[in-house]
Amino acid sequence: EQFEETEPGKITYETRFRDIEEWSSLVHLSIIMMLDREYDAAIDEDDFNKLETVEDIFNYINK
């Protein structure tokens, strides 16, 4: 949902989300807020900056 211009099928578990063309600081903050709101997975900035792929986010939420 945070990548409105990117076709959903182009984002996979291996996708390095910061490499998506529309990545910005606003998308960065939106993802952090979405993780907290939708998945009750509060994440601090340092931990988020260590994540690289969609799968990393998935694994973090499931911890």
Model confidence pLDDT, tens digit, residues 19-63: 999 999 999 999 999 999 999 999 999 999 999 999 999 999 998
Q: Which residue has the tokens 């993780």?
A: 35
pLDDT of residue 50: 96
pLDDT of residue 4: 87
d(Cα 44, Cα 42) in Å, to the nearest integer?
Answer: 7
pLDDT of residue 1: 79
Architecture of the domain delimited by 8-61: Orthogonal Bundle (1.10)
Domain positions in the chain: 8-61
Cα radius of gyration rounded to whole Å, the chain: 11
Quick check: 43 and 32 in contact, CB under 8 A?
A: yes
d(Cα 51, Cα 19) in Å, to the nearest integer?
Answer: 12
